[in-house]
Amino acid sequence: MTISSKSSFPIVPASRMQHLPTQFFAQLVKKANARMAAGYDVINLGQGNPDLPTPDHIVQAMKTAAEKPIYHRYPPFSGFSFLKEAVAKRYFEDYQVELDPETEVAVLFGGKTGLVELSQILLNPGDVCLVPDPGYPDYWSGVVLSGAEMSMMPLTESNDYLPDYDAISSETLKRAKLMFLNYPNNPTSAIANAAFYKQTVEFAERNQIVVASDFAYGAIGFDGHTPVSFLQTPGAKEVGIEFYTMSKTYSMAGWRVAFAVGNPELIKLINLMQDHMYVSLFGAVQDAAAAALNGPQQCVHDLVHTYETRRNTLFDSMKSIGWEAKPSPGSFFAWLPVPSGYSSASFADLLLEQANVVVAAGIGFGTHGEGYVRVGLLADQSRLQEAIDRIGKLKLFG
């Protein structure tokens, strides 16, 4: 692949650029924006972009911190100790997990960065990474950049959207070095229990596979359920780490702040990689993130209540048009079956073109996402109700 320009000098990208997976969400946004530009009132439920503002006390902490000259200089390479201490405090209070702030916490430029970095840190060409299917597409990006291979772990409704470790071949296990898990799950909204994580630790120890638990939606469980952290499992720190982002819990998506916690050798490697790429986050952002973690957590409870109310509105409305699905147990997504006669992509296109509603086609999350679409609970109740009303007028169900 050669990129043409007005100059006669050819720009030839590295071969790895040719193998990067298509950015699914970029394509989704492009379609939605084109429809809106044409003058249509589009209800966009296809993205995972939190729609609620960051709580005021966090914003105020940022404003105050931004005026401090100490934060106008480069921060410590691995982040300020006060933020890592706040992470450890929150994990102990929420999950009863003890963390050493300096050796078991790494500050990240958003969760995506850490997830992509980890594959490059651990995988060589010829290695295998176990990846959930359907799953978050950016897991694929890191694996491709590392030159390694993916082996997909099917997540099916019949197995509660949990991977079946017994179905992984011995040949794959010999080459597998890393595995991604994500609960509460994007896109299926499934949750994992303590028994599953116990099985996971035993599987990882037996096969010498590092576990990367993507806990992005760790605060968001419904019907009285509090999601379980992988690190609550005895032995989890010996085999892996967990990624947690401020984006979902505190509506801080645009702030780009997250952290990895767990195995100290893995944390050390993440910090080493980041030493060569960044000089940590703007200090005022770290100050505000610490204020979020150390401060009152009522804003988190209120956020979860809002998402649960929206979930109830969505599924009640779906029932009225004959669209049957199990209510989401966690995350801020709903995983919904497409009607007979449609693929996930053709159904998503139909909804955009005839109802002006954006949903994410399940095929964008992997081959086992076919037959479903992902809907975000990221609009207020009236807009969710209107979206289902529009879909109902197409007479596709019942």
Task: Read off the DSSP letter of residue 11.
Answer: B
Indicate if 34 and 122 belong to the same structural domain: no
Q: Does residue 349 sit within a domain?
A: yes
Q: Residues 33-53: what's their mean pLDDT?
A: 92
Indicate if 129 and 193 belong to the same structural domain: yes
Angle in degrees, CA 106, 189, 99, rounded to 5: 25
Q: Does residue 91 sit within a domain?
A: yes
Distance CA 235, CA 206 (A): 12
Please give the pLDDT value at position 48: 85
The CATH number covering residue 104 comes to 3.40.640.10
Please give the pLDDT value at position 6: 63
Indicate if 216 and 82 belong to the same structural domain: yes
Distance CA 46, CA 336 (A): 12
pLDDT greater at residue 21 or residue 38? 38
The CATH number covering residue 358 comes to 3.90.1150.10
Indicate if 84 and 220 belong to the same structural domain: yes
Q: Does residue 3 sit within a domain?
A: no
- Per-residue pLDDT band for 207 (boundaries 50, 70, 90) equals very high
Residues 142, 147, 148, 152, Cα dihedral to 10°: 60
pLDDT tens digits for range 232-285? 999 999 999 999 999 999 999 999 999 999 999 999 999 999 999 888 899 999
Q: Does residue 8 sit within a domain?
A: no
Contact 257, 281 (CB under 8 A): yes
Indicate if 31 and 118 belong to the same structural domain: no
Indicate if 311 and 346 belong to the same structural domain: yes
Locus of tokens 């609970």: 377
The domain of 306 spans 16-53+299-392
Please give the pLDDT value at position 19: 83
Return the closest-CA partner of residue 278 out of 33, 78, 102.
78
Domain count, the chain: 2
Q: Does the pLDDT at position 103 exceed 80?
A: yes
- 273, exposed or middle or buried, with CB in 10 Å at 0-12, 13-18, 19+? middle
Please give the pLDDT value at position 361: 95
Q: What's the Cα-to-Cα distance from 305 to each of 43, 193, 332, 384, rounded to whole Å? A: 22, 21, 11, 16
Indicate if 104 and 247 belong to the same structural domain: yes
- Per-residue pLDDT band for 4 (boundaries 50, 70, 90) equals low
Percent of the chain with pLDDT over 70: 98
Q: Does the pLDDT at position 5 exceed 70?
A: no
Residues 6+ apart with CB under 8 A from 182: 132, 135, 136, 213, 214, 215, 216
Please give the pLDDT value at position 326: 95
Q: Does residue 64 sit within a domain?
A: no
Please give the pLDDT value at position 247: 96
**How many residues belong to the chain?**
398
- Per-residue pLDDT band for 2 (boundaries 50, 70, 90) equals low
Distance CA 335, CA 329 (A): 11
Q: Does residue 271 sit within a domain?
A: yes
Please give the pLDDT value at position 44: 94
Indicate if 90 and 42 belong to the same structural domain: no
Indicate if 263 and 321 belong to the same structural domain: no
Encoded tokens for 17: 């650029």
pLDDT tens digits for range 215-238? 999 999 999 999 999 999 999 999
